[in-house]
Structure 1
Amino acid sequence: MSEELQDEIEAINSIYGQGCLVPSSSEANVYVLSPPGESSSLRIEFPPTYPAVPPVVLGTNSTGEHGKRGDAARELSLFCQAVSTVYQPGAVCLFDAIEELTRLLESEVPKETQHEDTSHEDDADPQLSAKSPADSKQISMQEPPWIMSDPFVELKSTFVARCAKVSSTEEAEAFLQHLLSTDKKVRTATHNITAWRIKGPNNTIFQDCNDDGETAAGGRVLHLMQLMDLWNVMVVVTRWYGGHKLGPRRFALINQTARDAFVKAGLVSENPSKKKGSGKS
């Protein structure tokens, strides 16, 4: 097994859950992929020279008990299409292929079914918990006044931050839910790291953060806000994983992206002695 494939397997299982990509019990170089939220599992062969050559999609492995006849064939066809779309010689492609499959499937699903799928995602993630009718009214509010950073890209991982002025924790939570409910690309990102600091009545102080699976990232962003003495503001740093681990470097990129949003919002001054990130390091 190549080092690239070993890293990709570890990354896929860390993003989508253990068991998403596992070796076949009966075939060498063949893995079983269970795309998140789909009923069909797929058998994929990784040639010894992968990623110099593309993976080979062999067929379906199984269909869940709730799958309908024809779903497996449709998902197989769409995944083959996804692989052919995203694969580039020399670069691992499975994460991009899974995301492309998700996009293709969602583009085919009626609006009623898409709403049901979103509710299922909500159950799986504390940030996307099922909302009451009152919460739904909050989500249908006017677009929050987001100020966006420039995108920062490293090893195909992309980071974008949004910040907005907020006056209460309820407003901060409503802004976050609105973003996740109305922006499919953000909702399906690998991580949406959030932090806010709010001064309430009677000198009460509210500070909170959420890693969204990127361990310790939320606390680091909150610490950045503390160092900048920012109040009554929230930030959401979105990361789309690019298939390559960044190690501790990812925390610097997360904070760099958050700071860029704060600068663009006029909350802090750009340091003239430092060059602004070009988007690649």
Structure 2
Amino acid sequence: MRTLDNIISDRGSKYAVSGGPCASDAEAKAFIKQLCRKKKFAKATHNTWGLLTDAGPVKNDDGESGAGMVILRMLEREGLYNHIVVVTRWYGGKHLGGDRFRHVQNATRAYLDTL
């Protein structure tokens, strides 16, 4: 598991991105469970993720409506299969509107650039 912490900060909200090899919905749930063993990530407002598998795309918005699809689209463009990307957000008290999608995209790009 690779994690890039505190990569984006906007109006009090903070973002991190994590990822690693993953081949199924069950493995994705286990990955999230392992990530949330770290108290900081367990207390996050949203842990949104996307994963492309041979069986098809899998995502979870975790309350951040539409964020999983942003991650999936980027994984499709990269052709990255069997690798989960999780974007974590700690809500800072102010709504970000559409900027939240840009932050999810930028966090995912930062992670993909490390591969």
Query: TM-score under structure 2 normalisation?
Result: 0.90
What's the C-alpha RMSD, in Å, of the aligned pairs?
1.4
Matches within 5 A, 1:191-202: 191-199=46-54
Query: Aligned partners of 1:212 and 1:254: how far apart in 2?
Result: 13
Residue number in structure 2 paired with 1:212 = 62
Residue 230 of structure 1 and its aligned partner are, at CA, apart by 1.1
Residue number in structure 2 paired with 1:222 = 72
Is 1:148 paired with 2:3?
Answer: yes
Query: Aligned partners of 1:173 and 1:190: how far apart in 2?
Result: 17
Residue 149 of structure 1 and its aligned partner are, at CA, apart by 2.6
Unaligned runs of 5+ in 2: none
Residue 255 of structure 1 and its aligned partner are, at CA, apart by 1.2
Instruction: Indicate conservation of the 8 Å contact 1:149/1:258, yes or no.
Output: no
Residue of structure 2 aligned with 1:243, choices 83, 88, 93: 93
Query: Aligned partners of 1:219 and 1:197: how far apart in 2?
Result: 11
Percent of residue pairs bearing the same amino acid type: 33
Residue number in structure 1 paired with 2:22 = 166
Q: Which runs of 4+ in 1 moved over 4 A?
A: none
Matches within 5 A, 1:103-182: 146-150=1-5, 151-180=7-36, 182=37
The count of corresponding residues between Structure 1 and Structure 2 is: 114
Unaligned runs of 5+ in 1: 1-145, 200-204, 267-281
Greater strand percent: which structure? 2
Which letter does structure 2 place at the counterpart of 1:218? G
Residue 170 of structure 1 and its aligned partner are, at CA, apart by 2.6
State the structure with bigger RCO (CA 8 A, min sep 6), 1 or 2. Answer: 2
Greater helix percent: which structure? 1
